[in-house]
Structure 1
């Protein structure tokens, strides 16, 4: 049983003892250890190089403070099924002041990922920033349980991107979900099917290709979304280590076609089970396809699932 499932099982026992609702107290995060944001742009990397900085090989999103910045989550709790305005700030660790100047990445100053610990719920959000540095975005999370919030950004004066993470407790009637099975195919609403080829290899860059079809026909007119034909986020089961990858090529480069295939290069920081979430746009709507793969443990075999709406 992995760490995430142990936590889920414990929470279920607590809920059974004290009632039918699920609630979590204040979250605890590791503070102070530098974090390495792993991000691929299709270029080759040396064997064993997880794109860390300063010799630290810690994957992104595991810490609430790193690289001179801290994530200050103002809404650490929400209720299942209710619309909640998630609010947070990015603080400079040396001064404690909110960061108000960012460099854009794929058309946005900051990308916010929200995922449940059991990896069955996923949201890729783009919050708005107020003049005082407070970010906010509405979100409706369907199920009670433990969630993780990831802020992916690059301050204007920073050379590298930073990914910070904080815990979010979603209260309500708690029903633990089974861990998704390894999968190579995901179906989404609207008749879309996405097939995954390739594998994650611990410590080595590997190719992943996702082929999009609709009702059995290849989709050859994918639309750019945030400057690309697809975005892929990978989360490691258990601790939810964050791996944000980008496709090989981009719209308008004279070589990249708008489907049916979107290819990526990614490096898994370790062996283990990962949940992959592909965002793609077609006919004006962004859709998400989800897969479960094992790095260093064989190819995916079973059918995947859709994550439903994700708040884009």
Structure 2
């Protein structure tokens, strides 16, 4: 057989093969999906609103705005005493030492196991070389998310960086917490009023009581009468929650109510942790709420252990 004829028959065979394959794909995959495969790529690029909304979700990357949360050293085993330490570097790899105070501290370190348990909010100290550290012991084995909430002086903008740390040992998984707007901690009853929404700022008011009586001796803690952290269940994206009202004067007391404002980026379950102080003791109440409304960003994905968003 001549070469041109062979090539012609080969081309006809390929055309038939691709036609059959595409027809089979249409039978297995929904027609709208196969149609999307043939659309111009420009139609799949996020618009500016999507990009801004995705960027507003914090606490999913170890790098943001040119600042990098370095590798975290910590005890390798649960119940082992040691030190937790890390640096935050700039785009040139130099450890950063200049930070602005936010809520009375230059760095807020939030640590929680990836199942939402073992929450801690602590404040390490920084040496002259930019090394942050504090004595540390993991109370239980598991995988932990560590968040550094900072305001670098170079930008004056608040950012939240995160990494995952493993603590070896016998692991006991926790069952998912049920929805709850009330908690009892150290003899205090804490109730939360309000709903999370993806379409508008939500007002959340917590009320503290003890033995059925309102607590009116809440002390200032981190620039307010309470500090609230909200994490999206699943990827543990970090929400910024802002206390309402004027900053309290030193020595002032208040209560029983503390109000916060926040907005959820996507519908779903959120884990909330409230720190409040009475008689120089800090207590932590926990809640689980569901945010309602349309999604405001693309698929949140998994937490990234690489730079970028």
Question: One fold, TM greater than 0.5?
Answer: yes
Structure 1 CA distance for aligned equivalents of residues 264 and 204 of structure 2: 12
Contact 2:75-2:82 within 8 A present in 1 as well:
no
What secondary structure does 1:105 align onto? coil
Report Cα offsets for 1:10-41 as digits up to 9, x if no partner: xxxxxxxxxxxxxxxxxxxxxxxxxxxxxxxx
Q: State which of 176, 179, 188 in structure 1 corresponds to 2:176.
A: 179
SS of the aligned residue for 2:243 comes to coil
Q: Gaps spanning 5+ residues in structure 1: where?
A: 1-48, 298-312
Partner of 1:288: 284
The equivalent of 1:139 in structure 2 is: 136
- 2:100 is matched with 103
Is the counterpart of residue 73 in structure 1 residue 71 in structure 2? Answer: yes
Normalising by structure 2, what TM-score?
0.74
Contact 1:251 1:257 in 2 (8 A): no
Q: Say which of 233, 239, 256 aligns to 1:237.
A: 233
What's the secondary structure of 1:235's corresponding residue?
strand
Instruction: Provide the aligned C-alpha RMSD in A.
Output: 2.0
| Structure 1 ranges of 4+ moved more than 6 A | none
The corresponding residue for 1:162 is 159
Residue 53 of structure 1, CA deviation: 9.2
The answer for the alignment partner of 2:200 in structure 1 is: 204
Q: Tell me, what secondary structure is at the counterpart of 1:107?
A: coil
Shift of 1:226: 1.4
| Structure with the larger strand share | 1
Whose RCO is larger (CA < 8 A, sep 6+)? 1
1:76 is displaced (CA, Å) by: 5.9
Matched residue, 2:58: 60
Residues 98-142 of structure 1: CA distance to partner in whole angstroms, max 9, x if unpaired? Answer: 001111112111100000000011000100001000000123322
- List per-residue Cα deviations over 1:193-232 (Å, max 9, x = no partner): 1001101101421110100001111001110011110000
Q: Answer yes or no: is 1:248 the counterpart of 2:274.
A: no
CA contact (8 A) 2:218 2:278 kept: yes
- How far did residue 54 of structure 1 move? 5.8
1:84 is displaced (CA, Å) by: 3.1
Q: Distance in 2 between matches of 1:175 and 1:252?
A: 41
SS at match of 2:62: strand
Distance 1:78 1:224 in 2: 35
Specify which structure has the higher proportion of helix: 2
Residue 260, structure 1, aligned to residue 256, structure 2: yes
Aligned residues: 243
What are the superposed Cα offsets for residues 130-182 of structure 1, whole Å, 9 maximum, x if unpaired?
Answer: 10000001233221111100000011121311100000101110111101111
Structure 2 residue aligned with 1:225: 221
* C-alpha spacing 1:264/1:53, structure 2 compared with 1 (3 Å): farther
Structure 2: 5+ residue stretches without partners: 1-48, 294-309
Aligned to 1:149: 146
CA contact (8 A) 2:220 2:248 kept: no
* Deviations 1:238-291, CA, capped at 9 Å, x for gaps: 1010013131013448xx971100011110111111100000000110110001
Q: Classify 1:257/1:206 alpha carbon distance in 2 versus 1 (closer, same or farther; 3 Å).
A: farther
Secondary structure of 1:293's aligned partner: strand
